[in-house]
Amino acid sequence: MVLNIVIVGVGGQGLLSMAQLIGWASVESGTNVLVAETHGLSQRGGSVIVHVRLGDASSPLIPVGRGNIMLALELLEAARYVNYMRNDGVAVVNKKLIKPNIPGVRVEREENVINTLKGTVKNTYFIDASTKALEEGNPVGANMVILGFLGNMLERAGVLQEGLLGKYAGRIGRGSLAEINSKLYEWGYSLASQQVSNELINSIKSWLLKEVP
Amino acid sequence: MLDLLKLLKKDEVYKAIVPSFLGYRYMYRFKDLIRIEKGKAFLLGNEAIARGAIEGGIGVASAYPGTPSSEIVEALTTISKDLGIYVEWSINEKVAFEVAFAAAITGVRSLVAMKHVGLNVAADPLMSSAYTGVNEGFVIVSADDPSMWSSQNEQDNRFYGMHAYIPVFEPYGPGEAKELVKYSLEFSSKIKHPVIFRSTTRISHTRGVVDLGPIPKSVKVKGEFGKELRFALVPAVSRKNKLALLERWRKISEEVEHCPFNFLEGDGKHLIIAPGVAYSHVREAIQFLGVKARILKLSSVYPIPEAMLLKAVSDVDDVVIIEELDPVTELQVRSILHKKNITIRVAGKDLVEYPYELSIERVVEVLSKFYNVPNPLLQTKAGGTKGIEVPARPPTFCPGCPYRPLFFEIRRYINREKLPYIASGDIGCYALSLNEPYKLQDLIIEMGGSIGLANGLSKVTDDMVFSFIGDSTFFHAGMPALANAIYNRSPQVVVILDNQIVAMTGHQPSPSTVMEGKKAIAIEDVVKGLGVEFIRVVDPFEIDDVRRSISEAVKYVREKKMPAVIIARRRCALVILRDLRRRSIMLEPCYIDQEKCIGCGTCYNWFACPAISKVDGSNKAVIDPSLCVGCGSCVIICPVNAIKLPKGTEPRKLKELWR
C-alpha cells in the first residue's frame, strides 16, 4: 500500500520544501513516508526530481511507470520525468516554461508540451501558479499553489488529516510572506475542490488498496 | 473522514511527542528535538546519523563539508552549545579526522564525517588509526555517492575497511541509520578500534520516520592522554601494533556474528544477500515479482558474519547477491564458501551490473532473470516524452552569483586576445563554468587540483594556464600547491574565487567567513606570506577591474615566469538573499527597455543569467521577474544600456544592499 508522488521542477523553485511539508503532514496524519531528495549540484538551476512515497515503501525511489501523482513546477521538467507516471495517474502542472540556460537552446512550444503531457497521463491539471504567485507578491510561491491542489486531493482521499498541510504551508516564510504563502495554498486548494471530480478521488483511494503501486 | 488512514499505517500510529512550546507538533528543526527522548520524528538520513551520534554520547564531532555528507555535522553544530559538546568544521578531511581521532585516543567518544572522496584525503591517518586503536568509540562516517550525483567518481569505500583493517557498517534506511550509528559507537568502544559507518546518497538524503531515544544527560568531553607508546608509530612500535591489530581483528570477526542489524528473514529455496541500501530495494522487488525468498540482510558489510552466512546457505539451492557498485560482499561470500568447500550456485556481479546506484527497477530485472519469471515493470512503462524533445537542463550559476560576471569577462578577454590557454578547474560552484558559454574548466580532478595540475601544465605546455579555485578549496588543498608553484617558479594565473562561504554544499563556514568566535583569515595575507609578488583583489561585479587585473596578471606571468594571484571577492548570492530576507527586504527585478534592445544576444548568449532569455520570434531579450533577484550585475554588460534597474532604484543604494 504505497502512494507515489513525483515532484519535479527546476532547482530553486522550492521542491524540497514541498516534499518536507507533505512529509510532516503525512507523519502527523499517521502515515509512514519516505522522501528522496536531490542536493548539491542539481540545486543550482538544474533539473530536479524528488520522490515522495507514502505508506509501506522501503525503497526511497519510485520505479519508472509507477508514479501515482506528479506535481510539476515547470513544463519541460514535467515532460522529462513523465515516464515515472502511470498512465492512469494525476499530474498537477504549473503552466510555466523556463528555458534551460544554454545559449541557442531550442525549446518545444508550450502547447506541444502540454499536449504531450495530456496524452501520456490521464488526469492532467494545468495551473497558472507562477502568475498567481507573482501577482500576490511571492515570485517563488508557485510551489504553495500546487501544494494546495495536492492537499485538497489527499484530504478528500483520506490520506491527510484535514487542514494540516495548509497549516504548515502558512508557516513557511516570515511575516507577510507567510500570509502570502497561506493565500497561495488556499487558492490551489480551492482550484482542486472545483476541478477534481469525486470519481478521481475514488480512484486515488483504490490505488491505495493495491499491494504494489 | 480518514477512512483509508488505517490502511496506510504499518503497525502503529506514528505519534511523535514534540515540545508544545513550538506551538505545532511536526514542524521542527533538528535542535528542537534534543529534549525529546521518545516518539517518532521525520528526519533526513544525515540528521538521523547526527541524532544517533548524540544518543550514542559523542563529545566531539568534526567534518569537512561535501555532498552527500554535509548535513550530519551541520545538524550537530546547531546543538553543540546546548549539549556542551565540541563540534567543528575543519579545514579538510584529514584535519577533521585528526581532531576526532585525538578525542577518541584520550577517551572522548567522537565522530568524523566526510564524503567518500574526502576519505582519500584522510586516508593517511585512517590507515594508522587501525594500528594504534582508540580508547573510546570512534566512528568515521563515509557518505558515498553511487551514480555520482555530486561527485567526481563513485568509489566504493567499503574497500577502505578491507584495506585498513577497519570494520564497516552500513544501514538500509534513515531509521536504521540512527540505531546503527549508536551501535557503531558502542562496537568501537568495546573493541577499542575505529569503525567506518558507510552511508550512501539514498540514505543520507532520504527523509524518513526515525524512532527517538534518550540522549545521555552528561557526556565525557574532556579526556586524558595516557602517553602510551603505541601512539608513536616508529617501526618498532608499529610491528608490535600490527600483532595487536590482528588480535583485535579476530575479535571483530566474532563480534559481527552478534550484530543485531544482520538478520535472516523469509522462506524459500533461494537466498538473496542484500547489504546496506540494497535491502530496501529487494524488499519491494520481491513484492513486485510475487516470489518467495530467503533474505540475508547485512549491515556489517565488512567483515560479513561467517557463521550466519554458512547457516543461511545450508538449506537453499542457490544464492544471489544484490549489491550496489563493487562486489565487496561477493568477494567475501565466495571466499568463505570456497574455504569451506561448499559448492552452490552463486550469482552476483554477473547479473547486477557494476555502475551506478540500485533502484527497484534494476533489482526487479535481476531477480526476474534469477527466478526466471516475467518482469512486471517492463510492460507498464509510461510513454515517456514521445513526440517532443526535452533539452538537457544543466545546473548553472544562480541569479546574482558573483562568478557569472567574472567568467563572462575572462571569457571575453580570452576571446579578444585569442589567447592560447588552459583553464585548470577545481571542486566547487565555479565548476559550473564548465558549460557554455563560459567553458573555463578544462580539467576538474580533485580538491586543490587546479593549482597542482597547473604546476605541471605550465612546465610542459606553452599555453597560458589559469587555475580557478574557491576560498574553501584553497584552504583545503590549494595552499601546498601554491607554495609549490612559487618555489618551483610555475607560471600561472591563479584566480581565487572568494565568496566567503562553502557554497555548493549548503553554506558552511570557510576560513574566510567572518563570524563570531572564529578568527577569519584574509587570503591575500596567506598568498603574500607564501611569497606571491603579484596580488590583486577585485570585485567580480566590476568587470572593468576584472579585465584590467587579468590582463596585467597575464603580462606579469609571461615576463616573470612566476605565479600571479587574483582574488575575486564577493559574497555568495544565496547568502546575500538570505540576509536581505531576514531584514524583510525584497529587491525589485531589473527589466529590459524593449525600444533600446538591439537583440545582440550579449546578455542571454554570453552573460547567460537564467532570468534573461530571448524573446520568442525576435532576437530581443527579456527578464523573467520571477527569476531575477535584482542584483543589477547585468546592467553593465549591455552595449546599448538597455538593461535597467527597477524604477526608483539608485545604483548606489543597490550597491549598499547587494554586497
What is the nearest CA distance from A148 to chain B, expressed in angstroms?
Answer: 18
Instruction: For residue B218, give the C-alpha cell.
Output: 552528561
pLDDT of residue B1: 37
Beta carbons of B397 and A113 less than 8 Å apart: no
User: Of B272, B360, B389, B614, which to mutate for an interface test with A (greatest number of A Cβ within 10 Å)?
Assistant: B360
pLDDT of residue B247: 98
Cα B117 to Cα B95: distance, rounded to the nearest angstrom: 15
Nearest by CB: A45 against B67, B396, B506: B396
Q: Does A198 touch chain B (CB under 8 A)?
A: no
CA-based nearest residue in chain B for residue A62:
B360
DSSP H helices in B380-497: 403-417, 449-460, 471-473, 479-487
Cα A184 to Cα A145: distance, rounded to the nearest angstrom: 5
Nearest by CB: A63 against B174, B360, B398: B360
User: For residue B41, which of A20, A16, A208, A58 has the smallest C-alpha distance?
Assistant: A20
What is the nearest CA distance from A114 to chain B, expressed in angstroms?
Answer: 10
**For residue range A158-171, what is the model confidence (pLDDT) as tens digits?**
999 999 999 988 88
pLDDT of residue B2: 43
Identify all chain B residues contacting A31, using CB atoms and an 8 Å cutoff: 5, 8-9, 14
Q: How many CA atoms lie within 13 A of B220 on its CB side?
A: 14
What is the nearest CA distance from A210 to chain B, expressed in angstroms?
Answer: 10
Nearest by CB: B385 against A31, A47, A79: A79
pLDDT of residue B560: 98
pLDDT of residue A170: 87
- Three-class secondary structure of residue B605 per DSSP: helix
Residue with cell 470519481: A199
Mean pLDDT of B124-151: 97
Instruction: For residue B22, give the C-alpha cell.
Output: 513550538
**For residue range B37-59, what is the model confidence (pLDDT) as tens digits?**
988 889 999 999 999 999 999 99
User: For residue A55, which of A73, A36, A75, A31 has the smallest C-alpha distance?
Assistant: A31
- A199 or B377, greater pLDDT: A199
Q: What is the DSSP letter of B588?
A: P
Q: Does A122 touch chain B (CB under 8 A)?
A: no
Q: What is the 3-state secondary structure (H, E, C) of A39-69?
A: CHHHHCCCEEEEEEEEECCCCCCCCCCCEEE
- In this structure, of A14-28, B91-105, B247-261, the range with the lowest mean pLDDT score is A14-28
Report the largest interatomic distance among the alpha carbons of chain B, rounded to a whole angstrom.
Answer: 84
Beta carbons of A38 and B205 less than 8 Å apart: yes
Q: Does A195 touch chain B (CB under 8 A)?
A: no
Mean pLDDT of B170-186: 98
What is the nearest CA distance from B87 to chain A, expressed in angstroms?
Answer: 23
Residues near B519 by Cβ (< 8 Å), separated by ≥ 6? none
Nearest by CB: A101 against B44, B396, B584: B396
CA-based nearest residue in chain A for residue B629:
A139
Residues near B548 by Cβ (< 8 Å), separated by ≥ 6? none
Q: Does A182 touch chain B (CB under 8 A)?
A: no
* A:B CB pairs within 8 Å: 260
- Asked whether residue A208 carries a pLDDT value surpassing 90, the answer given is no
Beta carbons of A41 and B397 less than 8 Å apart: no
pLDDT of residue A41: 62
- Specify the CATH class of B262-375 in words: alpha beta
Beta carbons of A36 and B506 less than 8 Å apart: no
Cα B425 to Cα B433: distance, rounded to the nearest angstrom: 9
pLDDT of residue B24: 44
What is the nearest CA distance from A171 to chain B, expressed in angstroms?
Answer: 9
Instruction: For residue B180, give the C-alpha cell.
Output: 546503527
pLDDT of residue B382: 44
Partner B, chain A 50-69, Cβ-Cβ below 8 Å: 54-61, 63-66
Instruction: For residue B545, give the C-alpha cell.
Output: 577591474
CA-based nearest residue in chain A for residue B22:
A171
- Specify the CATH class of B403-511+521-577 in words: alpha beta
Cα B250 to Cα B258: distance, rounded to the nearest angstrom: 14
Report the largest interatomic distance among the alpha carbons of chain A, rounded to a whole angstrom.
Answer: 49
CATH architecture of B587-657: 2-Layer Sandwich (3.30)
CATH of B30-257, one of 2.60.40.10, 3.40.50.970, 3.90.1300.10, 3.40.120.10: 3.40.50.970
User: Of A101, A118, A165, A210, which to mutate for an interface test with B (greatest number of B Cβ within 10 Å)?
Assistant: A101
- Asked whether residue B6 carries a pLDDT value surpassing 80, the answer given is no
pLDDT of residue B569: 98
- Asked whether residue B387 carries a pLDDT value surpassing 90, the answer given is no
Asked if residues A44 and A51 have their Cβ atoms less than 8 Å apart, the reply is no
- B616 or A60, greater pLDDT: A60
β-bridge pairing B294-298 and B300-302: unpaired
**For residue range A60-111, what is the model confidence (pLDDT) as tens digits?**
999 999 999 999 999 999 999 999 999 999 999 999 999 998 888 889 999 9
In chain B, list all ranges with CATH 3.40.50.970. Answer: 30-257, 403-511+521-577
Identify all chain B residues contacting A46, using CB atoms and an 8 Å cutoff: 393-396
Beta carbons of B9 and A60 less than 8 Å apart: no
Asked if residues B507 and B501 have their Cβ atoms less than 8 Å apart, the reply is yes
In chain B, list all ranges with CATH 3.40.50.920. Answer: 262-375
Beta carbons of A205 and B280 less than 8 Å apart: no
Mean pLDDT of B432-445: 96
Mean pLDDT of chain B: 94
Q: What share of chain A is helix, strand, coil (3-state, %, to 5)?
A: 45, 20, 35
pLDDT of residue B385: 59
- Asked whether residue B7 carries a pLDDT value surpassing 80, the answer given is no
- Asked whether residue A43 carries a pLDDT value surpassing 80, the answer given is no
- Asked whether residue A150 carries a pLDDT value surpassing 60, the answer given is yes
Cis peptide bond upstream of B303, omega within 30: yes
pLDDT of residue B13: 36
**For residue range B291-302, what is the model confidence (pLDDT) as tens digits?**
999 999 999 999
Complex-level ipTM: 0.97
pLDDT of residue B26: 53
Cα A156 to Cα B3: distance, rounded to the nearest angstrom: 10
**Would you give the distance in Å from CA A144 to the centre of its chain?**
9
Work out the angle at residue B628's Cα, subtended by the Cα atoms of residues B627 and B630, and round it to the nearest 5 degrees.
155
Nearest by CB: A32 against B8, B202, B613: B8
Structural domains in chain A, CATH included, are: 2-206 (3.40.920.10)
**For residue range B348-364, what is the model confidence (pLDDT) as tens digits?**
999 999 999 999 999 99
- B219 or B584, greater pLDDT: B219
Beta carbons of A63 and B25 less than 8 Å apart: no
CA-based nearest residue in chain B for residue A102:
B436
- Three-class secondary structure of residue B610 per DSSP: coil
- Three-class secondary structure of residue B514 per DSSP: coil
What is the nearest CA distance from A160 to chain B, expressed in angstroms?
Answer: 7
What is the nearest CA distance from A110 to chain B, expressed in angstroms?
Answer: 11
Instruction: For residue B386, give the C-alpha cell.
Output: 514521445
Percent of chain A with pLDDT over 70: 98
- Kindly report the pTM of this predicted structure: 0.96
What band does A121 get if pLDDT is binned at 50, 70 and 90?
A: very high
User: Of B2, B3, B4, which to mutate for an interface test with A (greatest number of A Cβ within 10 Å)?
Assistant: B4
pLDDT of residue B412: 98
Cα B13 to Cα B609: distance, rounded to the nearest angstrom: 48
**For residue range B244-256, what is the model confidence (pLDDT) as tens digits?**
999 999 999 999 9
Work out the angle at residue B40's Cα, subtended by the Cα atoms of residues B142 and B23, and round it to the nearest 5 degrees.
115
Mean pLDDT of B256-272: 97
**For residue range B479-504, what is the model confidence (pLDDT) as tens digits?**
999 999 999 999 999 999 999 999 99
Asked if residues B203 and B174 have their Cβ atoms less than 8 Å apart, the reply is yes
In chain B, list all ranges with CATH 3.30.70.20. Answer: 587-657
